[in-house]
Amino acid sequence: MDQWIASPTTSLATFALNMLLGLALSVVVAWYYQAYGQALTNRRKLAALLPILTLTTGIVISIVKSSLALSLGLVGALSIVRFRTAIKEPEELMFLFVAIAIGLGVGAEQRWVTVVGVALLMAYVSIRLALGRGTQRHNLYLNILVAENPSVSLSSVNACLLAHVDVLDFRRLDSRDGTLQLTYFVDCRNPQAVSDLVADLKVTFAGAEVSLLQQEQVLGD
């Protein structure tokens, strides 16, 4: 039975040091995600939870690493956990894994490996973000509301849009009460193309109502 249960080998001082290091690293990662993340969800709420996830992971690893029985029990306990909220953004998933990795590293007392790994990861993400700013694109949700008539069709609206944008992704069409509502995701390099697009739509389709929403600002600040 002794081979299944071992005495704890981590002192309270060492455990506290590991948790403080994990907290510091996770706070840095959370700040970066909130300040520079591109996810459409509420980044502030998720950022506040990342340090908690890191510390929870670190506590669990610190407890079970000295006991095979506890490790097996943890596997059984986690097998019944079900998450009700789906992770829809790849960026969310990436930062959740970073927080978990920090917790695993400090819980296993791999401090320098964790610090160096997080530093290299954040450096790579920062460099990638800096290089991407020079070619920043304007990703927009476009909603068009126009009165239905023989001259208005999906193909005619698409032709007008393609004259101004680089990428056109049709999302939705609604027809009711004599009006046609079209929803698109558009991508363009030149900010001037946005104003030209709106002006062209109003000229081509008299009385059209146009609304644009920048996707980076949706529930993200």
**Which pLDDT score, from 0 to 100, does residue 165 have?**
80
Q: Thinking of the domain 138-217, which architecture would CATH place it in?
A: 2-Layer Sandwich (3.30)
Closest-CA residue to 57 (of 100, 114, 119, 5): 100
Alpha-carbon span 99 to 23, nearest angstrom: 10
**Which pLDDT score, from 0 to 100, does residue 220 have?**
43
First to last CA, the chain: 54
Alpha-carbon span 184 to 211, nearest angstrom: 11
Torsional class of 209: left (φ above 0), alpha (ψ -120 to 50), beta (otherwise): beta
User: From first to last of its 221 residues, what are the pLDDT tens digits of the chain?
Assistant: 444 445 556 688 888 999 999 999 999 999 998 888 776 667 788 889 899 999 988 888 887 776 666 666 565 555 555 555 565 667 888 888 999 899 889 988 889 999 999 999 999 988 887 776 655 555 677 888 888 877 777 788 888 888 888 778 888 888 888 888 888 888 776 767 778 888 888 888 887 888 877 655 444 44
Q: Which DSSP string do the residues of 77-126 spell out, in sequence order?
A: HHTT---SS----HHHHHHHHHHHHHHHHHHTT-HHHHHHHHHHHHHHHH
Question: Residue ranges of the domains in the chain?
Answer: 12-133, 138-217
Q: How far apart, in Å, are the Cα atoms of 115 and each of 24, 84, 106, 187? A: 10, 32, 9, 38
**Which pLDDT score, from 0 to 100, does residue 78 have?**
58
Please answer whether residues 187 and 139 qualify as being in contact, where contact means their C-beta atoms are separated by less than 8 angstroms.
Answer: yes
Pairing of strands 179-188, 209-214: unpaired
Closest-CA residue to 67 (of 8, 133, 113): 8
